[in-house]
Every structure is written in structure tokens, then in C-alpha cells.
């Protein structure tokens, strides 16, 4: 298998790791890609980015009231 962040995964396709990646575990290497997009354009003074591991996506919320979402202009 393959080790990723201290956890052993079996050879083959891993649909979703604990930290929201899809990976392929081979005998010689492990290739992974993220299942989320990263917010790059939002009000950084008023808002912060938090990884939502249940949805495998980033939430952009107000710093002073995390229950309120912020508008995101673009993601990558």
C-alpha cells in the first residue's frame, strides 16, 4: 500500500482520502489530486477560508461571524 499523512491506503484507486484528495496508489508512487477548488478572489479583510471536510470544498465565511458566508469572485 501507500502512506499518506500517516495513514496506509491500499494499492489502486482511492476515491477520497481523509483530507479530500483522490489518489492512485501504485507500487512505485502515489499520485493525488484535490477534490476541491480554492477560493482566490474574496474580501480577505472581512473573510476567511475554512476547509469543509464533509463536502470536500472550501467555505468562505466572515471572520467576525463564521455563520455568514462571503461572496467569492473566483476559484481555481
The dihedral of CA 42, 48, 45, 67: what is its sign? positive
- Structure confidence at residue 60 (pLDDT): 97
The dihedral of CA 55, 60, 63, 64: what is its sign? negative
- Structure confidence at residue 76 (pLDDT): 83
SS3 of residue 3 by DSSP:
strand
Domains and CATH numbers, the chain: 2-34 (no CATH), 39-75 (2.20.25.590)
| Per-residue pLDDT tens over the stretch 6-64 | 999 999 999 999 889 999 999 999 999 999 989 999 999 999 999 898 999 999 999 99
- Structure confidence at residue 18 (pLDDT): 87
Q: 47: burial class by Cβ within 10 Å (0-12, 13-18, 19+)?
A: buried
SS3 of residue 5 by DSSP:
coil
Amino acid at each position: 500500500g501507500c502512506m499518506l499523512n500517516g495513514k496506509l491506503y491500499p494499492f489502486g484507486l482511492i476515491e477520497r482520502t481523509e483530507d479530500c484528495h483522490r489518489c492512485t496508489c501504485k507500487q512505485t508512487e502515489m499520485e493525488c489530486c484535490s477534490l476541491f477548488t480554492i477560493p482566490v478572489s474574496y474580501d480577505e479583510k472581512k473573510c476567511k477560508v475554512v476547509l469543509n471536510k464533509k463536502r470536500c470544498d472550501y467555505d468562505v465565511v466572515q471572520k467576525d461571524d463564521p455563520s455568514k458566508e462571503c461572496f467569492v469572485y473566483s476559484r481555481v
